[in-house]
Structure 1
Amino acid sequence: MHEENTRMKASQYFQDIIESIHSQNVLAPVDEDAARKVFFTDQEWMLPSGRPIAALSAAALGALAYSLQAIWNVRRGSMAGIASARVSQRGAAIAVRSHNYCRIVDPPRNLNPWDPLSGLYEAADGRHIQLHCNYSHHRGTALKVLGVVDVPDLGRDKVSDAVRKRDALELETLITEAGGCAAMVRTSGEWDSHPQRRALTQPPLVTIRKLRDTKPLAVGPTRPGARPLQDVKVLDLTHVLAGPTATKALASHGAKVLSVSSPNHEQIEAALVDTNFGKRSAFLDFNDAKDLEKMKDLLKETDIFVQSYRPGALDAFGLSADALAAIRPGIVYVSISAYGTTGPWAGKRGFDTLVQCVSGMADSESDSFAKPKHLPAQILDYASGYLAAFGAVLALRQRALVGGSYSVDVSLARTCEWVRNAGLAEFDISQIKMPTEQDVADLLLTTPGTEYGKVQHVNHAIEMIPEEFSPRFELPTCRRGAHAAEWW
């Protein structure tokens, strides 16, 4: 009975996603069979959290599977359709912990994207604050505000002592204004009354709108052995973790994904090893006129453009949604932000764990000593990535049917509202243990021959029938800037 109930839970979350995007009256109807062909398997994989992480993650992946069926039915002509898609709740729970299980096997190397100073600290007023130090400039900003000199092997003790001299909200404000990233842990009640939370009650989970009219534009001819996103060209201007997850998902279903980043911008290599599967990667510096022109040349053939800069940050380079719709009629412009595009925090820097802190989610996970904790998975990042891919595919289908250029907007904070609305478990979770690598060995793959050597990573949680439509990567993971900035 419990297994059946958890499947029903995932199915309901899935239906909510589908109804939300179609309620915007932008998309042409999708055959009802597409939703009926998505099935959820396995009992919910219990992680040590009161949130239904497995069911929610499976629902987001199910939405992606739904969109793939929808676009394939438009593209396939006389070729066979997708009979069904099965999403493993157990696999989905591990998929949203993917970076925890990714490592370089040969030569042996563990990957940890977390800086030793990142994490939760108690402030002078007894409140807690999270410092996000995974990027060196964010680490430097936080330490400068705290008056701590950064030296090799700097320990958390000195940082803790400095944090205890200030109130949490004061520190959040000072670090944010200095260009860093920090978040005071709020209660759910405090977040409910916050103006940014009120701004998040209006937009749908995935917002889609038409930018301008164009003629219908198909995505290349299909051919024997083609996959749902075969020949779809995706330009990836994202960084950890939601954006790269979205483009990795698109790559796993046949899209050509070119990741573009500046050689002058820091990236977290430990995250790239996991998220660069299926992609090529090139350097372009938008402050260089020639590189910016090269970027605009690439855009002329781009089907889906995915970016995770703060709202408005790309406008100065002529890369806004409206500008790209003029450069490339029929483009699908996907934006992933921390707090959305409206409200007082629309331009605020943010990451999954910071959103967990401000939203009351970390407070609700408090242990028996009333210390806040993060969820045992970065579901805001991963689910937002899957939802962004889902919206992009449906927008591409719409372009093929009736034409148009489209924007798709997803934010971690809006995804957080979706997770919060799912509620908390009404049973004791204290005895539930975090799954070890041994516990999930059957869900892991090893890929040899990458630029890093042999890499262990999490297998796909979606299975398509026929098997030829199941996700797989045609390219191994790669280092940043390993390829030329050109389509292939």
Structure 2
Amino acid sequence: MDANGWLLAVASDAFLPAILSALGEDAALASRVSDQREAVPLTSPLAIGALAHDAVATATLMALALGESKSSDAVLSPRRIAACYRSDQLFRLRGEPPAAWASLSGFFETADGWVRTHSNYPHHAEALCRMLNLDGDATPGDIARAVATWNSVDLETRAAETGAIVGAYRNAESWADEQQARAVAATALIEVKIDTMAGDARPATAELPAPLRGIRVIDLTRVIAGPVATRTLALLGADVLRIDNPRRPEISWQHLDTGQGKRSALLDFDRATSSDLGTFHELLARADVLITGYRPGALSRFGLDDDELSVRHPGLIRGYVSAWGTTGPWAHRRGFDSIVQAVSGIAAISSPDGIRPGALPAQALDHTAGYLLAAGVLSALRRRVASRAGTSVTVSLARIAQELIGAGVVAHTGGSESAVSLNDQTVPAQTRSGDMVCAASVFTHPELPDRYPTVGRAWGTDAARWER
């Protein structure tokens, strides 16, 4: 990279240099970012605004690098960043906000503290009720009474054994003593492994504003982190095909909130009489990027272990996002942003009164993971132009949580949060589901696209094939 400069002077204690180093990029690129970290309107005792700023800055830098930009005068938009991180709070369908949390998701008091449950998906709610010997129509009051006699960690452990999702509320010091926390701390913020085998990889157009035009991406992700990564790649011109299990429907508004620019198809890998797994491998043979958000090892039985992928598909870029990382006793546990916040000490630091659990002002671990994963893929694609080698890029919510906690409590709490509700941070659209409003693109650099190619495509309505 030359020193002509692009966009984005960040303070020496910012996250950006560490992120760039983890990617194998020159940390001096951080000087090409106009420092607006403290202006991001995400109020928190933790430096979440700075982390959001620097995650988006990295994705922006990598997109411009892939497109060989020589620009030097653009800046990020703090308000746009906050709007994207709080997209679920800005989203409207037919004028109505979504019910972002199911009734059985939240904090509940136990005999010795608190736990946080996650039951937004019906199968997770069923697992929670089954574990607690409750009927399927249980109320939050039923859950509260059932968990009140449990020890928090015992309930967390039992949930992991039964498929329910429960996290014990800890402070940061308690989490740091856990074996899983030590395993996570031993890993890089972004893990990058470059393959030794070169492939016959096709280059992207690398032309701004859509440097990923011609790149095919398979999206095996759900909820927020993975979909944010693939939405970002779609915005930059990639042909993104999301594949889901038809027996695990996505929450409809959630899919619309993070599905911009992507097509959505259904394949059932588990059905013995189906040819769907074969269809998927045919798609994969022509793909450039595979992004997955399943627990480590969960897809190995389908021939999707990373070592096998690197040999069978040389040149393929693989992106992975998980809750707890790839090593340690919790690596195969289920988890979500809210659970990681509760377990890692973020909820304790965010407590409004030092007693009740708190939370970040957004699902910020998820969104940060999404932008870091997208940046890693962009970096790997640029590297592949010369080496023709594939790369695996791995991020975890727990590792991001530790990076955020490690930065310490900050005195500055961000700009005015009222700014994120302004109309110029959202995009209206007509969809098959009705009128929709979603957060606008995170990119504000003049050489990058600021509009999604499509919004509001319904879940599971596209064919499982490449269009170009």
| TM-score (normalised: structure 1) | 0.88
One-letter identity of the residue aligned with 1:99:
D
The CA deviation at 1:31 is 10
Is 2:451 the partner of 1:472?
yes
Asked if the contact 1:183–1:358 (Cα under 8 Å) also holds between the matched residues in 2, the reply is yes
Q: Distance in 2 between matches of 1:381 and 1:485?
A: 27
Is 2:133 the partner of 1:147?
yes
Partner in structure 1 of residue 6 of structure 2: none
One-letter identity of the residue aligned with 1:97:
R
Asked if the contact 1:21–1:207 (Cα under 8 Å) also holds between the matched residues in 2, the reply is yes
Q: Distance in 2 between matches of 1:52 and 1:304?
A: 32
- The one of 153, 169, 172 equivalent to 1:169 is 153
The CA deviation at 1:144 is 2.0
Is 2:119 the partner of 1:133?
yes
Return closer, same or farther for 1:226/1:379 CA change in 2, 3 Å cut-off: closer
The CA deviation at 1:30 is 5.9
- The one of 301, 304, 324 equivalent to 1:319 is 304
- The correspondence of residues 293-304 of structure 1 with structure 2, limited to 5 A, is 293-304=278-289
Asked if the contact 2:190–2:372 (Cα under 8 Å) also holds between the matched residues in 1, the reply is yes
The CA deviation at 1:462 is 2.4
- The one of 50, 53, 57 equivalent to 2:45 is 50
Return closer, same or farther for 1:215/1:122 CA change in 2, 3 Å cut-off: closer
More divergent stretch after superposition (170-179 vs 45-54): 45-54
Asked if the contact 1:124–1:164 (Cα under 8 Å) also holds between the matched residues in 2, the reply is yes
The CA deviation at 1:276 is 0.6
Q: Distance in 1 between matches of 2:284 and 2:333?
A: 27
Partner in structure 2 of residue 212 of structure 1: 196
The CA deviation at 1:110 is 2.6
- The correspondence of residues 333-352 of structure 1 with structure 2, limited to 5 A, is 333-352=318-337
- The correspondence of residues 71-90 of structure 1 with structure 2, limited to 5 A, is 71-73=66-68, 81-90=70-79
- The correspondence of residues 37-436 of structure 1 with structure 2, limited to 5 A, is 37-41=32-36, 43-73=38-68, 81-104=70-93, 107-125=94-112, 127-151=113-137, 154-215=138-199, 217-221=201-205, 227-288=210-271, 289-368=274-353, 370-426=355-411, 435=417
Q: Distance in 2 between matches of 1:407 and 1:297?
A: 20
* Unaligned residue ranges in structure 1 (runs of 5+): 1-6, 23-28, 74-79
One-letter identity of the residue aligned with 2:83:
I
The CA deviation at 1:12 is 2.3
More divergent stretch after superposition (326-335 vs 442-451): 442-451
One-letter identity of the residue aligned with 2:136:
D
Q: Distance in 1 between matches of 2:332 and 2:433?
A: 35
Q: Distance in 2 between matches of 1:96 and 1:226?
A: 23
Asked if the contact 2:40–2:415 (Cα under 8 Å) also holds between the matched residues in 1, the reply is no
Return closer, same or farther for 1:221/1:370 CA change in 2, 3 Å cut-off: closer
The CA deviation at 1:108 is 3.4
Q: Distance in 1 between matches of 2:41 and 2:437?
A: 23
Partner in structure 1 of residue 4 of structure 2: none
Partner in structure 1 of residue 16 of structure 2: 14
Return closer, same or farther for 1:323/1:393 CA change in 2, 3 Å cut-off: same
The CA deviation at 1:81 is 4.5
Q: Distance in 2 between matches of 1:47 and 1:226?
A: 29
1:334-392 deviation digits (Å, cap 9, x = unpaired)? 11111111011111110001111111111111122611111111111000000000111
Partner in structure 2 of residue 26 of structure 1: none
The CA deviation at 1:465 is 3.0
Q: Distance in 1 between matches of 2:105 and 2:123?
A: 13
The CA deviation at 1:42 is 7.4
Asked if the contact 1:451–1:477 (Cα under 8 Å) also holds between the matched residues in 2, the reply is yes
One-letter identity of the residue aligned with 2:141:
D
The share of aligned pairs that are identical, in percent, is: 31
Asked if the contact 1:236–1:257 (Cα under 8 Å) also holds between the matched residues in 2, the reply is yes
The CA deviation at 1:226 is 5.7
1:134 is paired with a residue of what secondary structure? coil
RMSD across aligned C-alpha pairs, in angstroms?
2.3
Q: Distance in 2 between matches of 1:42 and 1:180?
A: 37
One-letter identity of the residue aligned with 2:64:
Q
Q: Distance in 1 between matches of 2:276 and 2:220?
A: 14
The CA deviation at 1:44 is 1.8
* Unaligned residue ranges in structure 2 (runs of 5+): 1-8
Q: Distance in 2 between matches of 1:374 and 1:360?
A: 10
Return closer, same or farther for 1:326/1:117 CA change in 2, 3 Å cut-off: same
Partner in structure 2 of residue 25 of structure 1: none
| TM-score (normalised: structure 2) | 0.91
Asked if the contact 1:236–1:306 (Cα under 8 Å) also holds between the matched residues in 2, the reply is yes
Q: Distance in 1 between matches of 2:203 and 2:384?
A: 9
The CA deviation at 1:215 is 4.8
Asked if the contact 1:38–1:84 (Cα under 8 Å) also holds between the matched residues in 2, the reply is no
More divergent stretch after superposition (312-321 vs 226-235): 226-235
Q: Distance in 1 between matches of 2:347 and 2:372?
A: 22
The CA deviation at 1:109 is 3.5
Return closer, same or farther for 1:269/1:461 CA change in 2, 3 Å cut-off: same
Asked if the contact 1:273–1:479 (Cα under 8 Å) also holds between the matched residues in 2, the reply is yes
Count of aligned positions: 457
2:75 is paired with a residue of what secondary structure? strand
The CA deviation at 1:39 is 2.6
Return closer, same or farther for 1:257/1:167 CA change in 2, 3 Å cut-off: same
The CA deviation at 1:83 is 4.4
Asked if the contact 1:50–1:424 (Cα under 8 Å) also holds between the matched residues in 2, the reply is yes
Partner in structure 2 of residue 455 of structure 1: 436
1:200 is paired with a residue of what secondary structure? helix
Return closer, same or farther for 1:210/1:101 CA change in 2, 3 Å cut-off: same
Partner in structure 2 of residue 76 of structure 1: none
Return closer, same or farther for 1:371/1:9 CA change in 2, 3 Å cut-off: farther
Return closer, same or farther for 1:198/1:221 CA change in 2, 3 Å cut-off: closer
Return closer, same or farther for 1:285/1:347 CA change in 2, 3 Å cut-off: same
Asked if the contact 1:259–1:279 (Cα under 8 Å) also holds between the matched residues in 2, the reply is yes
